[in-house]
Structure 1
Amino acid sequence: VTGEIRNAINMPSLDAAALAAVGPYLDLARALGKLLAKLGPDNPDSLRVSYHGPISKKDTGLVSRSVLTALLEASRPDGQVNIVNAPAIASQLGLDLVESVINAKTEYNELLVAELSKGDERYRVAGTIIGRSPRIVEMDRLYVDTNISGNFLIVRNDDRPGIVGALGTLLGNANQNIANLSLARNKSLGVALTIIELDDPLSAELMTAIRAIPGVLSATGVTL
């Protein structure tokens, strides 16, 4: 066993060294695809996967395809989407996959960015490898720091006191244990992003109660 990917129909061909170079980004790519499926626009027409830093000089075809596959799998849970046929299915749906290189300076040595678009509506997520750990570091152009696996509550809310406390109280009363918390804000727009990692998925009833909290603009439960 060499770890190579060769001669698979419609698959990028990678030797063991090339696969090892992009391997740490494959799980991150899948997490970004799943997030976009939950948070991005419905019936999108474009998926742009961009690379910054040394990763941009590597063979990233498999990474981009991993983002696409995870995105499509979320909307087709019948198991009919895989990394081989994902580009063909995307084409049937009118979804273009575009790869690009980020030349602008970022906060990170390497950065993987995935942006889903429908017309002028766009949603962007990004991640990187910190040490040996893949991390999600951006959602909707707000800086965050969270794991790539687990159960998450992602809340967009007014940037004012009391909302995080109300969320914590509601989750505590429902016996939901908070594992991690990440907060971000756009002070000029008066909006904030609250990402709560939980031990267990959220019920539909609890999600309804969360969305009813004054100041909550949107709330999404995601399992990665």
Structure 2
Amino acid sequence: MKIIVTDEVSAEGLALLTQDARIQLDVKLGLKKDELLAVIGDYEAIITRSGTTVDKALLDAATKLKIVARAGVGIDNVDVDYASSKGVIVVNAPFGNTNSAAEHTLALLLSFCRNVTIANASLKAGEWKRGPFTGHELKGRVAGVIGLGKVGGRVAARLKAFECEVLACDPYVSVKRANDLGVKLVSHDEIYKNCDIITVHTPLTDETRNMVGPREFGLMKSGVIILNVARGGIINEQALLDNLVSGKVLGGAVDVWSQEPPASETLKQLIANKKLVVTPHLGANTFEAQINVAIDVSREIINYLDDKPMENAVNIPRFDLALMDQMRPFLNLMSVMCDFGIQLVDTNLEKVSFGFAGNIAHYDCSPLTVCGLTALLNRVVDQDVNMVNASLIADQMGIVVEESKTTQGGAFSNVVTLIIEGEGKRRLVSGTLFEGSPRIVRLRDYSMDFTPEEHMLLLNYDDRPGIIGKVGTILGQYNINIGSMNLGRHEKKGEAMVLLSLDSAVPENVLQEIKAAAAASYIRALRMRVGACTRSCGCGA
């Protein structure tokens, strides 16, 4: 695999890649956009930080690209949607610099509260002044943390250590998580109305851009302290400047900017304001953090090469890692079932339904759904389909995808069901695991029990004496050996379904001969892909 590194990334952290004989790592820093576009087509992976914009133009030029690895938390410099449409996996390092960012937040807060920066400049200038630098204590203050994720949670814990009362708002965090941190979950407006200190720790999205604007500043107490060590643009910078000038905001600290390097007049005025402590996006800039994020993205690339689950792929549905060992066999079952089921269909797909029954229904099954959709589409479209782009391709094709769950598994502890519909026809396949191996237990309305093999023959016919013998005789004449047989029927001399596992494929002329001899209402020769759940799926099973 050829990998290009376009931004400063810790060499120590990249050692996993440089030591792998399968990898050619090219470090090319400072490339102009046209220079990068000219060479990116040679690479299967790109490792970046915030200095490289992975946009539509780059992704179109990167014809071999499989992975975009962002050595840091934020991915706002990556067009994730367009990467997904092209089947490119986007990974980041969401945990490597969390401690660094949390510590920087407290460093800036304490620097402001104790006038560290201006007192330092005064003393170095030869002055001895103490009175102008009287500070503020954190103890007893009400601090508001917006976003209680990995960084926000650490900031909250550290504020608690300084004996602050901590309020937090985060619609994606449970009350238990807040209780564990010793903080109280409240609404956004309660944060603005009640807090002496407000710090934001959310990603920059359409939802969070300018989240703290004129209305929110209007709700705040006079003398509030504001911090942004998350992403530039979450706090409306003009509104922050206006409230610093008016005196409503006592001051605070900013590490991140909507434009980096800052060039607008508003940003220049903010940076120059004596009430703000400012730094040039240093939240993740510790030696430890830079090594950690490089190690994290390097491991993700190695996981890809080793067909292992990718822990931090932002555009692949994935299980909680604690459940992965339990769920991996179901990923394989789903892939096998879908590889089997799609061969029963000869119409355009209109609707695909995935059902999960039994104990498995207690868990998030969306990765199973996407894995199954991937296996289906890989049989019917020309482009490569993986867990990144499967849902997008299905949507483009007008295929309705549904998922249902019930904790009632019937005769089995777990059952997965696939229903494929199109042009008025419907195919149903149900499967389960037996000692960890995939088993098909229902086809249409017939109870069955077989392990899918590479070569199989399925036919429906009116059950009458001698039919199976005729089929066996014809196969024997063409030196096609039967490995096993599975028969399903509802009543004697009614319609029957038989599934034969064979040692070799059935040619079309033999298929037609069998159809005529058995007067089969339906017949299909099936060929399963060996190791159906592969890296092209992207599930890591």
Output the TM-score relative to the length of structure 1. 0.91
Larger radius of gyration: 2
Partner of 1:38: 343
Could you tell me whether the CA contact under 8 Å between 1:41 and 1:117 is conserved in 2?
Answer: no
Distance 1:16 1:103, change over 3 A: closer
Residue in structure 2 matching 1:22, options 302, 311, 327: 327
Q: Are 1:135 and 2:444 an aligned pair? A: no
Distance 1:64 1:149, change over 3 A: farther
Shift of 1:112: 0.4
In the alignment, the residues of structure 2 paired with residue 10 and residue 209 of structure 1 have an alpha-carbon distance, to the nearest angstrom, of: 48
Distance 1:12 1:154, change over 3 A: same
In the alignment, the residues of structure 1 paired with residue 513 and residue 402 of structure 2 have an alpha-carbon distance, to the nearest angstrom, of: 39
Distance 1:103 1:118, change over 3 A: farther
Where does structure 1 differ by over 4 angstroms across 4 or more consecutive aligned residues? Answer: 1-4
| 1:1-224 paired onto structure 2 within 5 Å | 4-40=309-345, 42-76=347-381, 78-102=382-406, 106-118=410-422, 120-187=424-491, 190-224=494-528
User: What are the superposed Cα offsets for residues 58-95 of structure 1, whole Å, 9 maximum, x if unpaired?
Assistant: 2211211121111111112x452222111111111111
Distance 1:174 1:30, change over 3 A: same
Distance 1:189 1:111, change over 3 A: farther
Where does structure 1 lack aligned partners over 5 or more consecutive residues? none
The structure with the greater share of residues assigned to strand is 1
Which range is displaced more, 102-111 or 126-135? Answer: 102-111
User: What are the superposed Cα offsets for residues 26-49 of structure 1, whole Å, 9 maximum, x if unpaired?
Assistant: 121112212221113611221110
Could you tell me whether the CA contact under 8 Å between 2:455 and 2:526 is conserved in 1?
Answer: yes
Shift of 1:4: 4.5
User: What are the superposed Cα offsets for residues 176-197 of structure 1, whole Å, 9 maximum, x if unpaired?
Assistant: 1111110001228921111000
Q: Percent identity?
A: 29
Distance 1:117 1:41, change over 3 A: farther
Could you tell me whether the CA contact under 8 Å between 1:33 and 1:70 is conserved in 2?
Answer: yes
In the alignment, the residues of structure 2 paired with residue 132 and residue 36 of structure 1 have an alpha-carbon distance, to the nearest angstrom, of: 20
Pairwise CA RMSD? 2.1
In the alignment, the residues of structure 1 paired with residue 453 and residue 314 of structure 2 have an alpha-carbon distance, to the nearest angstrom, of: 30
How many residues matched?
223
Could you tell me whether the CA contact under 8 Å between 2:349 and 2:421 is conserved in 1?
Answer: yes
In the alignment, the residues of structure 2 paired with residue 114 and residue 143 of structure 1 have an alpha-carbon distance, to the nearest angstrom, of: 15
The structure with the greater share of residues assigned to helix is 2
In the alignment, the residues of structure 2 paired with residue 121 and residue 185 of structure 1 have an alpha-carbon distance, to the nearest angstrom, of: 21
| Larger RCO, structures 1/2 (Cα 8 Å, 6+ apart) | 1
Shift of 1:207: 1.1
